[in-house]
Structure 1
C-alpha cells in the first residue's frame, strides 16, 4: 500500500505571515497523525520562508514519540547561513527516517524540477553517502522522463521522488495521458534499477486516484499544498482521512 506523508510547510507559511506561534506546526502534525497519516514531511529552506530548523527539531521529537517517519527535504548544496545550519548538518542533528534531496533555490516559489545527474551526480555522491551513514534513507527528486536514472542508483540512493507537478497541470487541463506515461516509464525504470518510488507535488484529491491507478509500485506520496487548502473547507482530520480512503481504494484495485 502507498503511504501518506503530510507536508506541513503551509502551516508554517501561515504562522510566519503574522509572526508568533499560531497556527502551531506541531499541533497540526499531531492532528494529521491522529487521523492516520503515516508520516510527516517538511522542507526547511535557507531563507526560512516556512519551516524553520526549530520546527524540524520539534517534529523529529514528535515523530519519534509517535513511531512514524519524518521526511526532511532540502537542497544539499545550499550553504549554511544565519539561523540555518545546512541540510546535512540539520539531518545529522535530527536523524530523519528519510532525506529527500531537491535542487531548489531561493528564487523558486516551490520545487519545480529534478536533478540533472550529468551535472550534479558527482557532487551528490559524497552527500548521499554522508546521509546514509547517518541512517537516513535517501531519495532524489527527479523529473518524469529524466535522463541518467542509472546514475541515481549508482550514487547509492534508495529511492527517487517523481516530481508530479506536470502531471497535475495536465490532469487539470483534462489531458493527463502523456504526463502519466512519463511517470509510468520513470517508475518502471527505477524499480528495474532497484530504486523505490515516491511521488509528490500538486497531488490532490482530484488527481491522486488516477495517478496511483496508473503508476506502479509507488511507496509514498507526500502531499501538502492541496491537502492544507482542502482542509480549510473540510477540516484537517477529515481531509487526511479522505486521502487515506483514496490510498486504500488504489490498493484494493490492485489486489
Structure 2
C-alpha cells in the first residue's frame, strides 16, 4: 500500500498571511489524519515563512500516523529534527531563499556530508530519506551514504505528463527498480496531483509513500479537505 502524507505548508502560509492562528495548523493536521491521511509532512525553512519552529514542536504530540520533516540539513535544521525525533526526516538540498524545492541531491559529490548527517539522525532512531532526481547513479549514491529511502523528485514527471506520459514516467521506473535492488524504500513527491498521480502509482512498483501539499490544498478549495483527501487516496488504491 502506498501511503499518502499530506504536506501542510500551505495551510501555514495562509495562517501567516494574517498573523493570527486561523486556520489552526494543529487542528488541520488532526483533521487530515481523521479524513484518511496516513502521514503529515512539513518543510520548515530558515525564514519560517510558513512552518515555524514552534509548529514543528507543536505537531509532535499531535501526529498519530507518520510525522515527516523535510528540509536542508543545515545545523539548525538538524538540531530541530533531533529535538522532535519524527518517524522520518527527508533531506532536501534547497537554498534558504528557494520558493520550493527544485532539484535532488548529488549524492556522489556530497557523499561525506550526507554520510555524516544521516549517521547522526539514524542514531536518534529517525528514518532518513534523501530527495533525488530519477537517476540510478544518484539512487546508488543514496544507498552508499546510508539512507533508508529515496524520495524521487517528480516535478519533471508532472511537467511532461500532459505531453508524453510514457516518456515522462520512464526514468522513474528505472530509478525505482534500482532503489528496490539496493534495498531502499521509495517515496515520491512534488507536483503530483489528481491528474497524474494514478498513472505514476500504477507504473512505479513498490512505492511506499507520496508527499503532496500544494496541489492537494488547491483542490481542497473546491472540493473540501475531507473529499480531497479521499480523492487522492482513491488514486492510490
**TM-score bucket (shorter structure):** over 0.9
Give the total of aligned pairs: 237
User: Aligned residue for 1:127?
Assistant: 117
Q: 2:174 aligns with which of 185, 190, 198?
A: 185
Change (3 A) 1:185 1:61: same
User: Hey, what's the Cα distance between the residues in 2 that align with 1:44 and 1:218?
Assistant: 25
Cα distance, 1:178 vs structure 2: 2.0
Between the aligned partners of 2:138 and 2:219, the Cα distance in structure 1 is: 36
Alignment counterpart, residue 71 of structure 1, candidates 68, 73, 78: 68
1:152 and 2:152 are equivalent in the alignment:
no
Tell me the TM-score normalised to structure 1 length.
0.90
CA–CA separation in structure 2 for the residues paired with 1:205 and 1:138:
27
Offset at residue 175 of structure 1 (A): 1.6
Partner in structure 2 of residue 8 of structure 1:
8
1:43 paired with 2:43, answer yes
Q: CA deviation at 1:146?
A: 5.2
Alignment-derived partner of residue 251 in structure 1: none
Q: Matches of 2:43 and 2:153 in 1, distance apart?
A: 15
Unaligned runs of 5+ in 1: 80-85, 249-255
Partner of 1:92: 82
**Post-superposition CA distance 1:140-162 (Å, at most 9, x none):** 00001253322211211100000
1:233 corresponds to which of 207, 222, 237:
222
Q: Is the 8 A contact 2:105 2:138 kept in 1?
A: no
Q: CA deviation at 1:41?
A: 0.2
In the alignment, the residues of structure 2 paired with residue 245 and residue 118 of structure 1 have an alpha-carbon distance, to the nearest angstrom, of 37
Normalising by structure 2, we get a TM-score of 0.97
The Cα of 1:190 is off from its aligned counterpart by 0.7
- Report the Cα distance in structure 2 between the residues aligned to 1:28 and 1:42, rounded to whole angstroms: 12
* Deviation (angstroms), 1:106: 2.1
What is the aligned-residue RMSD (CA, Å)? 1.1
Q: Residue 18 of structure 1 aligns with which residue? A: 18
Q: Secondary structure of the residue that 1:108 maps to in structure 2?
A: coil
CA distance in structure 1 between the partners assigned to 2:172 and 2:138 by the alignment: 15
What's the counterpart of residue 207 of structure 2?
Answer: 218
- What residue ranges of structure 2 are gaps of 5+ in the alignment? none
